Structure 1
Amino acid sequence: MMTERLFFTHDHLIADVEVLECTPREQQFAVVLHSTPFHPQGGGQPFDTGWLGDSRVLKVVQEAEHIVHYVDQPLELGITQARVDAERRVLHTRLHSAGHLIGNAGENLGWMPIKAHHWPGEGKITFIPGESAHAIDAGALQQQVNQWINADLPRHMLLEGDTRAVGFGELPVYACGGTHVQTLGQVGQVKILSLSEKKGTLSVRYTLD
């Protein structure tokens, strides 16, 4: 049975969860839950950390159909409380949402996003030119992203089975399993750091002020 991803449908950082498995693994303990608010590493976003009961969640990864939580001490099977580290989650959420906006801004100029990396200090979106690609510069991207953030566009999500699409306002949606702000004003100040073209691709590096 696939682990239910609670972060697909809500932003709660505290939840009662059911521990299904807890097995020793490499001086830690691998925990499988029926459902989880913890985002695993993947989709360009780092994993959440936090707590399961009194156990510290050190790493969260997708392994086959399960999301596995690596903790520092064993847990009993049954119900416990999950608490996601709010400061870490908020930063990742802001970075991921900013990355979507850069992707949308690039598409407006005829460039197609093909890869995204939303890690702190390493934010980068990679594009390839579409048939109608226009000249692109950091200033134009910055102005468009700022405009959408200032408009505080609301998030909307479309769920179909195990897939989810995320967008803001009337902007095109992206299929995405990551976490996102509720409205774009929560992103804060995005800073476009650099643009570089190499072998037919365009890389846009960004950070948050």
Structure 2
Amino acid sequence: MNMNNMINGTEKLFYNDPYLCEAECEVEDIIEKDGKYEVVLRSTPFYPEGGGQPSDIGFMDNIKVEYVYEKEDIIYHVMSEKPSNKIVNCQADFDRRVDHNQQHSGEHLMSAAFFKLYDAANAGFHLGEEYVTMDIKIKDMTEDMIKKAEREANYYVFRNEPVKTYFLTKAEAEKLPLRKAITAEGTIRMVQMGENLDYSACCGTQVRRTGEVRIIKVVKWEKNKGMTRIYIKCGLRAFKDYVIKNDYVTEIARGFSVEDTEIVNKVKNQTEEIGNLKKKISNLYNSIAESEAQALIAKTDSKIIAAEYKEEGFDFLDKLYEHLKDEEYILILSSLKDNRFLFAHNGSFDVECGKLFKEKLKEFNGRGGGNAKRAQANFPDSNSMRSFTEYLRENVIKY
């Protein structure tokens, strides 16, 4: 690599303007590596992956730039083809850059809100395709705390404060009211939001004013390694999320024939009603199963109870079993509705159900298992299940 003219590394044009995505740049070197070409430019509008932010992608002389990374102050543009010109036209994906600016600055503002309200630091940050995650050093976070922080962060957005970036020595940077200790060495790039909203060391791209973040929305949260992981969407992502969810709400409200504000109560009432109906059905089903069990016992003239059901599913077989499991019979129960099979007894017979299934079930295309007293199986079709039933009758059951 020609390093004579790159003592200070690749010039980062995106630091001059966080929205600059197109430029004519000079090729310094092209390295072939792992079937790809890594192009080094004297200057670049492409942001390299780092600081929790993904890299830019785009085109160089109409050749796709697939990934960008930085090593020892040199930025490498990974491509499947190499450019042929010394001066190349670079076009980073503008929409992706705007999105990353909004998400990254939104994360700074949300972190600043948690720090101001609860003196809690952000221990980790990741900018993903769907949302931004941030790990806040609070173990027992409450919903009210999160909502308060969300309101505070959006207040910072609405204030439309300027966002400044500059470089300091580590000693100079540590004199600022930082919300997080600096671990890097050497020259530190600082991001300052407003006069006193937030001071953070950061290598990522940011908006120029906090108002450009538009809005910050917490979409979910969870406990994670003694902290709370917060998921947020900012700017256009938050708007798209709102549109989708508003469509859901509108459709649900229309289906229930209620106003949006009445959906929760309607769902609660219907859930309670469904729960009560399920209990009634379960009790009725259990009574039917009990009656069926007594009928099966009355009409059998051996130690085998075999029954095949066309309309009933496996849940009915399960209820039948509960009423027959203590009786001295071998049970062969099958459901044609879902091609499931139950084989069981009360322990009085020299038949190990689970072992038998393990040894023979595959021969009949069945899948399942169980213990010595009970086993169950699924079959791809009723013919396979009936063949297995016949096998049990002819080769296993001698009662």
Q: Same fold (TM over 0.5)?
A: yes
Aligned 8 A contact 1:52 1:83 in 2: yes
Aligned 8 A contact 2:60 2:91 in 1: yes
Work out whether 1:4 is the aligned partner of 2:29. no
| Displacement of 1:89 | 0.9
Q: Which residue of 2 aligns with 1:114?
A: 123
Distance 1:99 1:4 in 2: 26
Aligned 8 A contact 1:138 1:194 in 2: no
Work out whether 1:166 is the aligned partner of 2:197. no
Question: Which of the residues 140, 144, 148 maps onto 2:156?
Answer: 148
Distance 1:197 1:23 in 2: 44
Query: 1:74-99: per-residue Cα shift (whole Å, max 9, x none)?
Result: 12362222111101111111111111
Distance 1:173 1:78 in 2: 40
Q: Which residue of 1 aligns with 2:111?
A: 103
Work out whether 1:177 is the aligned partner of 2:203. yes
Secondary structure of 2:149's counterpart equals helix
Distance 1:77 1:163 in 2: 35
Residue-pair matches, total: 206
Distance 2:70 2:166 in 1: 22
Work out whether 1:18 is the aligned partner of 2:26. yes
| Structure with greater proportional strand content | 1
| 1:138 to 1:24, Cα distance in 2 relative to 1, 3 A | same
Query: 1:71-127: per-residue Cα shift (whole Å, max 9, x none)?
Result: 232123622221111011111111111110111011112101121112231411112
Secondary structure of 2:128's counterpart equals coil
| Displacement of 1:177 | 0.7
Q: Which residue of 2 aligns with 1:51?
A: 59
Secondary structure of 2:40's counterpart equals strand
| 1:35 to 1:10, Cα distance in 2 relative to 1, 3 A | same
| 1:52 to 1:199, Cα distance in 2 relative to 1, 3 A | closer
| 1:23 to 1:77, Cα distance in 2 relative to 1, 3 A | farther
| Displacement of 1:27 | 3.2
Q: Which has the higher contact order (CA 8 A, sep 6+)?
A: 1
Distance 1:198 1:118 in 2: 17
Q: Which amino acid aligns with 1:28?
A: K
Using the size of structure 2 for normalisation, the TM-score is 0.48
Q: Percent identity?
A: 27
Aligned 8 A contact 2:122 2:134 in 1: yes
Secondary structure of 1:104's counterpart equals helix
Distance 1:160 1:3 in 2: 19
Report the more deviating stretch, 71-80 or 178-187. 71-80
Superposition CA RMSD, Å: 2.1
Gaps of 5+ in 2: 1-6, 170-186, 239-399
Report the more deviating stretch, 56-65 or 177-186. 56-65
Is the radius of gyration larger for structure 1 or structure 2? 2
Distance 1:164 1:37 in 2: 18
Secondary structure of 1:24's counterpart equals strand
Distance 1:181 1:122 in 2: 17
Distance 1:199 1:80 in 2: 47
Secondary structure of 2:98's counterpart equals helix
| Structure with greater proportional helix content | 2
Distance 1:77 1:22 in 2: 11
Using the size of structure 1 for normalisation, the TM-score is 0.89
Aligned 8 A contact 1:20 1:77 in 2: no
Q: Which amino acid aligns with 1:142?
A: E
Query: 1:122-178: per-residue Cα shift (whole Å, max 9, x none)?
Result: 41111225xxxx977221111111111111111111223743111211212111110
Report the more deviating stretch, 136-145 or 154-163. 154-163
Secondary structure of 1:100's counterpart equals helix
Query: 1:32-84: per-residue Cα shift (whole Å, max 9, x none)?
Result: 11121111111111110111222211110123332110123212362222111
Report the more deviating stretch, 99-108 or 166-175. 166-175
Secondary structure of 2:198's counterpart equals coil
Q: Which residue of 2 aligns with 1:31?
A: 39
Secondary structure of 2:49's counterpart equals coil
Distance 1:144 1:116 in 2: 19
